[in-house]
Amino acid sequence: MGYQETLRVQDVINGKLGSVYIVKDGERRLAMECKNVTANFKKNKKEIPVLGISGVKHKATGWSGSGSMDMYYGTSELRDSAIKFINTGIDTYYEMIITNEDPSSDIGRQSVVLTGVNFDDTVLAKIDINSTELDEQINFTFHGCEMLEKFKEYKGE
């Protein structure tokens, strides 16, 4: 049996190492209260019946972006935006820059910027006598993205 390269364990990205920045009106702020963020892309497809086959084919017709963020409860920015929307009907859109960077890995860093980020929900106020740290989960949508930096290819050992 021949030798097969395997993944170098040090190239597995440590999920604790990275950063999340939130940009509003050109001002960039490190979201150090963030514990977890996931942004998802979903392709919208339409079934297309085609003559000559009993099945259907699928054609992409658009896409949507959504995500969630778990964070420690302790910043008023999103509550301010929610209250502004409640009182005036004026919504707030952000950019979010998410970077993975594990210095022990040789694959480098990856940075993705999400544009048109709009938060779906936020906690306006919270108390929990059974919790030593308050947190919250916030869902969001986005309507654009760009890859600022890409990981290098994995090298085996």
DSSP character at residue 33: T
For range 146-155, the mean pLDDT: 94
What HEC string does 49-60 produce? ECCCCCCEEEEE
How far, in Å, CA of 57 to CA of 110, rounded? 34
% residues pLDDT > 90 (the chain): 94
The CATH number of 14-149 is: 2.30.110.40
The β-bridge relationship of strands 109-119 and 144-149 is antiparallel
% residues pLDDT > 70 (the chain): 99
Assign 19 a pLDDT band (cuts: 50, 70, 90).
Answer: very high
The β-bridge relationship of strands 94-101 and 18-24 is antiparallel
Residue 1 has pLDDT above 80, yes or no: no
For range 49-64, the mean pLDDT: 97
Task: Indicate the helix (H) or strand (E) that contains 77.
Answer: helix 77-88
- The pTM assigned to this predicted structure is 0.89
Domain positions in the chain are: 14-149
pLDDT digits (tens, 9 = 90+) for 69-115: 999 999 999 999 999 999 999 999 999 999 999 999 999 999 999 99
